[in-house]
Amino acid sequence: MAEGEEKKTKRGAGRPRRLDPETIVATARRIIEEEGVAALSMRRVAKEVGSTPMALYHYVRDKDELLLLTLAGVSAQFPRPELPADPRARLITAAVHMHQVLAQVPWVLKVLELGGLTDKQALWIAEEIIDSAMACGLSAGQAVATYRTIWYFVYGDLVFRASAARRAAEPDRKQHWPAMLTEEDAAELPRLTALAPRWEELQRYDIAEQLAAIVDGLLSRAGGAGRAAEREPGAQEPHM
Amino acid sequence: MAEGEEKKTKRGAGRPRRLDPETIVATARRIIEEEGVAALSMRRVAKEVGSTPMALYHYVRDKDELLLLTLAGVSAQFPRPELPADPRARLITAAVHMHQVLAQVPWVLKVLELGGLTDKQALWIAEEIIDSAMACGLSAGQAVATYRTIWYFVYGDLVFRASAARRAAEPDRKQHWPAMLTEEDAAELPRLTALAPRWEELQRYDIAEQLAAIVDGLLSRAGGAGRAAEREPGAQEPHM
DNA sequence: ACCTGAACACCGTTCAAGT
DNA sequence: ACCTGAACACCGTTCAAGT
């Protein structure tokens, strides 16, 4: 057997391991996609790959690391949209795309909460948003802050979208709002009291509209129109 | 014994129950405050109130309901700030206050994700934000949407603040960004590549500043200056 | 190096039984 | 009505041992 000779190559044809990281991660991802993050457990993955729970710990340090690894490649499943040339429109289009993609893979939210962005193939969205913001006259610092603000907003929207959907699926659980308002609150909370009867119709919420509005506010911070990087003290121009 | 006579009063002096909902909820809240939401379990609460896990299920339908009940009264611990008269400043002040209070009770975030706002004493913040937005000329629907947008943003910021803090406490876990950028990405991701070396300094992020910017954008949607409710078709004026 | 098995210290919740 | 005890079907992770 040639196994001994091939041992020095870290990942050669010889010495097939019973387990390999790709299978572990792919299995974890499948479980999450089919049954949600809550269904993922080390024991479950071990069972499905035909091994024992502790064998997995040779490939990942703990469950959180496995969770983070399931992120890789997810965004590549979605086609990259054509973006408009106008930087403001481009920024909004990229942000709406980010929202729309994540709405289709809601489990990703739970994983993103654990750590940073680990899917390299999603970085183009940050690139486009930051680049658009700078093209609109923001400094690099402002552009990065703008990206964060947009991300926080998109994330928050998606979390409560999922939360509302969960609650709607369990209608016997008591809804607290606006039912909890009583007559006595009218003096303290006049607006809410007045709006309560037509609360349903007031729930219309268009993410693209909100995004356009907040982007307007964020871009209005620009010191001058267009071309910003020059104004930034110590800014290095990106090569392009 | 007078117990029989007092039985019809639902909550009289007689028939002291071994368990009562207040103690259960207070114990749950104490555990969460001291050790985080992850430390809360039905078994743990039962042990601390000197009972068995299943006894709790006579007072709450499940763990989620108990979690939701821990929210009540939390916001009352924080002094209500003086708000400026100018509606735009009032909106921003209320939003910053919401952010600042929640930053001090981070466990609340996890519970809010489960359902709606259940702490009645926090409703004044929504009241002030919606009222300010309408005073700035937004329709009721726009004002409610503005509240939601601000809430999503605040929530998102707090989640990733907590997340970054957790990651910072575990420095041996690999940080993915911007270390994962390679030379080859320079062509695809020129801005990120250019910004990567000074990523640290670009992380300055002022929540009040961002809030002010997005509020500007949201309020710029107003159809006219000032006094809005009249323009709203079918709007009922709050009594005030 | 890679993997197993047993064990530790837990979970939420159902069910049947007690008072 | 209120509570207990046993049981079911799970968890993540440590540790010592095997090959």
Q: How far is the CA of B43 from the C1' of D11 (A)?
A: 14
Nearest CB among A173, A193, A202 relative to B144 is that of A202
Q: How far is the CA of B8 from the C1' of C19 (A)?
A: 20
Q: How far is A18 from chain B (nearest CA, A)?
A: 26
Per-residue pLDDT of chain B (240 residues; tens, 9 = 90+): 333 323 333 333 444 568 999 999 999 999 999 999 999 999 999 999 999 999 999 999 999 999 999 999 999 999 999 999 999 999 999 999 999 999 999 999 999 999 777 788 999 999 999 999 999 999 999 999 999 999 999 999 999 999 999 998 888 887 777 778 888 888 999 999 999 999 999 999 999 999 999 999 999 999 754 444 444 444 444 433
Q: Which nucleotides of C are covered by protein (CB under 7 A)?
A: 2-7, 10-16
Q: How far is B223 from chain A (nearest CA, A)?
A: 14
Which residues, numbered 91 to 150 in chain A, qualify as contacts with chain B under a Cβ-Cβ cut-off of 8 Å? 113-118, 120, 123-124, 126-127, 130-131, 134, 140-141, 144-145, 148-149
Which residues 6+ apart lie within 8 Å of B194 measured at CB? A236, A237, A238, A239
Question: CA-nearest residue of chain A to B217?
Answer: A217
Nearest CB among B123, B205, B215 relative to A217 is that of B215
Q: Determine the pLDDT at residue A229.
A: 41
A223 in contact with B, Cβ within 8 Å: no
What pTM did the predictor assign? 0.88
**Taking CB atoms and an 8 Å limit, are A210 and B149 in contact across chains?**
yes
Q: How far is the CA of A59 from the C1' of D12 (A)?
A: 15
Cβ atoms of A84 and A93 closer than 8 Å? yes
Q: Provide, as residue numbers in chain A, all residues whose Cβ is less than 8 Å from the Cβ of B118.
A: 176, 180
Per-residue pLDDT of chain A (240 residues; tens, 9 = 90+): 333 333 333 333 444 568 999 999 999 999 999 999 999 999 999 999 999 999 999 999 999 999 999 999 999 999 999 999 999 999 999 999 999 999 999 999 999 999 777 788 999 999 999 999 999 999 999 999 999 999 999 999 999 999 999 998 888 887 777 778 888 888 999 999 999 999 999 999 999 999 999 999 999 999 754 444 444 444 443 433
Q: Provide, as residue numbers in chain B, all residues whose Cβ is less than 8 Å from the Cβ of A115.
A: 163, 167, 173, 176
Question: CA-nearest residue of chain A to B208?
Answer: A149
Q: Provide, as residue numbers in chain B, all residues whose Cβ is less than 8 Å from the Cβ of A209.
A: 145
> Could you report the per-residue pLDDT of A27-39, keeping only the tens digit for each?
999 999 999 999 9
A217 in contact with B, Cβ within 8 Å: yes
**SS3 for chain A, per residue?**
CCHHHHCCCCCCCCCCCCCCHHHHHHHHHHHHHHHCHHHCCHHHHHHHCCCCHHHHHHCCCCHHHHHHHCCCCCHHHCCCCCCCCCHHHHHHHHHHHHHHHHHHCCHHHHHHCCCCCCCHHHHHHHHHHHHHHHHCCCCHHHHHHHHHHHHHHHHHHHHHHHHHHHHHHCCCCCCCCCCCCCCCHHHHCHHHHHHHHHCCHHHCCCHHHHHHHHHHHHHCCCCCCCCCHHHCCCCCCCCC
